[in-house]
Chain A
Amino acid sequence: MGFLVILIYFSGSILTNNETQIGELTSNPKKYDKTEVLVAGYVIGSPVYENDTAKIVIESSRGSKIVLIINSSLLNIYPNQDDIIFAKGIYYDSEPTSYINIDLVHVRTKWGQRFILLRSILAIPIIVFFLRKSRDLVRI
């Protein structure tokens, strides 16, 4: 059984190479090329609004800074510092600053992120309660 678990563990490594990871570009865009990409990153600068368009600098997990040009009508909320922006679109590498034109976007607010963690922590007392309640079931 232990062997099977180890086998499963290492087979997970197979997933590593081919799948897209959040924050990574889906492919390595060649220079002066445009590629379909997925990007997720924290908003590290305050949005600047120009003609109903928000320019947001985000930092991908690779550390590269990318300027997102988002039409504010695409968003129901305006992103703030530390929100996570999910963006899908065309990545242009031919400009002085690489940028993405968004065709799909989602904003995960920093409070949204914090609440996920908080709610998970709240579950721990329930688990402990049930573990204590069923001592007959467990042999430790």
Chain B
Amino acid sequence: MMPDWLTHVLIGWGVANFLVLKRKDLEMYKAALIIGSILPDIWHIRMLIDYVIGINLTWPLYAFHTPLGAAIVAVLLGVLFLTEKYRKQGTLFLMGGVSIHFCLDLMLNHIEGGHYLLFPFSKQLYELKIFWPETFTYLWIALAFWGISQILSKKLNTITASYI
């Protein structure tokens, strides 16, 4: 089990806000970072496949929820769907989002198991076991982080506008 997508998206959005505070020209890559922050969870498509055609692809698809698998998917998405002008940086932001995703997943607590961070080189499971996924604690922290980033962004916009 994972943190919910809202937590992932809010943290991704917050990080993107902070990056834009530093460099305004990165504004357009916000979407790439946010999409990247939920990209490893595409493996949950297994539920749809299981529901529609009754084939359980849990373990084969789990490879996409490993850093290497998700990075390859990010590069593939970048090559296929990003315009040439923004491809390089867009892909980097997708991968940045993927990194954020795994950082958040790493904080979770499961009764057994963790995340295959080094797969396929190692099958060691890693987890910091801080938050139970179904509790709201993680979401409140994400909301606070996002809220602070939004306030700072608004302030910066106001200051910039007043100079113009």
Q: Which residues of A contact B (CB under 8 A)?
A: 1-2, 4-5, 8-16, 18-22, 38, 40, 86, 88, 104, 106, 108-109, 112-113, 115-117, 119-124, 126-127, 130-131, 133-134, 136-140
Contact = CB atoms under 8 A, between A and B. Distances in A.
How would you classify the secondary structure of chain B's contact residues: helix, strand, loop or mixed?
helix
A131 B35 contact: yes
B1 interface: yes
Interface of B: 1, 4-9, 13, 28-32, 34-35, 38, 58-64, 66, 68-69, 72-73, 75-76, 79, 81-83, 86, 90, 111-113, 116, 119-120, 123, 132-136, 139
A137 B28 contact: yes
23 contacts: A1-B72, A1-B76, A4-B72, A5-B73, A8-B72, A9-B63, A11-B63, A12-B59, A12-B60, A14-B120, A15-B123, A16-B60, A22-B112, A40-B111, A88-B111, A117-B4, A119-B4, A120-B4, A121-B5, A122-B6, A130-B34, A133-B30, A137-B28
B4 A130 contact: no
Contacts of B83: 136-139
Contacts of B120: 11, 14
B45 to A, nearest CB: 12
